[in-house]
Amino acid sequence: MAKAKTSGTVYQLKITLAGIRPPVWRRVQVQDCTLDRLHNIIQVCFGWSDSHLHAFEIGGEQYGDPEQMQDLDAAPERKMSLSRIAASGLKKFTYTYDFGDNWEHVVQIEKTLPPEPGVQYPRCVTGKRAGPPEDCGGPWGYGDFVDAITDPNHPEHEERLEWVGGEFDPEAFDVEEINGELGALG
């Protein structure tokens, strides 16, 4: 098991997928980190596979991976940290994953906390509902997807279930599984 860090400020973030009802969200506690690390944390928390472009928008400026976003006017995400965002007074910013499906996440800095001895960060403390599967059509297609997989009489029921490997529970949320994967981030 990785050694738990116990120094520095812990930021409690609520990360909510925009445009989905009922909402899909995660409450995460992280020590100060750069946006490229936060990208990896969000990927784990929502079950994404990091196979699409992403960007953060903070105070009207975009941040992303410069190798992936050569044609876009984005600052390097590895040069912006949560502590700098918090120090600027901003409490909310967005993270968009997959510019085709346009999964927009609203990231809210809820509060800062002292680190707890023996706790490994980052950690997910709670959340609701399963992260949508990759490439299901964004917020506008996700509702159709859920309708199809939850209704055995839906004409696309079997096809959609096969597409996600036979099962998908939109209400499922497993904080222990997420934390196990966060622990593997190191």
Distance between the two ends of the chain, CA-based, in angstroms? 10
CA distances 37 to 33, 46, 117, 138, 180, Å, are 6, 15, 22, 23, 17
Alpha carbons 10 and 33: distance in angstroms, whole number = 10
Domains of the chain: 10-129+172-184 (3.10.290.30)
Q: Provide the residue-wise pLDDT of the chain in tens; the chain has 186 residues.
A: 344 444 689 999 999 999 999 999 999 999 999 999 999 999 999 999 999 999 999 999 999 998 887 667 889 999 999 999 999 999 999 999 999 999 999 999 999 999 999 999 999 999 999 999 988 999 999 999 999 999 999 999 999 888 888 888 999 999 999 999 999 987
| Number of Cα atoms under 13 Å in the Cβ half of residue 108 | 9
Residue 55 forms beta bridges with which residues? Answer: 96
What's the whole-model pTM score? 0.92
